[in-house]
Structure 1
Amino acid sequence: MRLFPGVVSTLVVAGLVLAAVSAQADKGVVGENLELRQTLEKRMDAIRADREAYEQIMNDGRDRTILCKTCHGEDGMAVKEGTPNLAGQNPVYIVDQFQRFGDGRRYDFFMAQLAKSFDDEEKIKIALYYASMPNAASGGGKVELMGQGKALFERSCTECHGSDGKGQEGYARLAGQRPEYVTKMLKEFKERTGRRNNPWMSGVALKLSDTDMEALAAYIASLK
């Protein structure tokens, strides 16, 4: 496999950043550690700036999603219930979630094994590949709760996930996410079972009723 010199150095430095992310970003997501987030953003921007190298990395990223597509689909639009769409997701967030699955801060047996099988270079390539895929509103959920969901979203979610649901860099893109997945994640944050460890999100979810969660899920699924 051919890698361009600038990309090699970029990925090496990004690998060092990822190690620091695992050690230091335990508050919630990479987005909460500004210095680490900005460093990783710069590394990914450097990759995007080299068109030829970027195209090579897109091809490599697609090749490495052979196991991912079983659940997340070839284009990042999930094909398995309870699995998130990855198309258009913030790449810094994807890389951070790989780190969390790998070190146990987020629990899923299959994802943990998969995360441990990828090196840092592969994680970055996969993240950039899925981030480049077009996203669309998934729709579904309880449409009659859309107004309630919009109000809840504007009150509780926009600071990190943006008014359009596309997320600040380092935070999850929610726009277009499958409603059953949103509900599932909110319940895991609320119940604090250990599958999702994020004090901030648990604090938000604890204030939500089941109906609130369904309302949020329906509204989020309608966003593009």
Structure 2
Amino acid sequence: MVSLDAAVLARMEKGGKRYEILVDPYLVDDFKADPSSVNPDDFFAMDEVFHDARGGERPTEESIEAVFGTQDIVVIAQMIFQKGSLQLTTVQRKAMVETMRQQIIHQIHTQAVDPKTKSPHPKTRLELALDESRYSVDPFKRLEEQVKDAIAKLKPLIPLSFESVRLAIKIPGAAYGGVHQILRPYQQKQGWLEDGSWACVIECPAGMKPDLIGQVMRRSSDAEVKEL
């Protein structure tokens, strides 16, 4: 359950009264898209409806029923988001914007490379270019959409190429558990060899290559990696 200090107010007004709930701001987008995908215990700071959450003023059960037609906090939250708004303090909004900004930069850093060097752009360079582009980060817009929008803004400023690489990786059998967990999302082929070692072929964004190889080598210093 999100703490009261980290929670934000979602609020709607009806009949001259405010109806408020306290929620985790980072799960709002997921909740709006599909409430069933979010655990209520993670989403709500308290499973209660307020007239004034900060002052602790609560409506009666009868008034809640009259306004929402239910006592179900999940259904009530859906209605509040449909008809009301999210109330962020300046500090909360600033923190959420910066968190989203770093996620956008990380995604571009891992997905794109400089076409000349075939290596990822340093994150600092991406940050400076994003600032120069004056891209406005929306803390509630989906990450995938913002990455696409940010890339469109960055392309006139820095060269970006979205390529994939195929790697053949071989490790001792004893390292299988940890390495397989890392590589599973990118595997195209995998199998055990006669000498007891395990090998696979993966395909991943070119920008992720150094990080993936680094993770594999930390778990198996005897790993063999070959680009196909």
Structure 2 length as normaliser, TM-score? 0.27
More helix by share: 1
More strand per residue:
2
Which has more radius of gyration? 2
Higher relative contact order (CA 8 A, sep 6+): 1
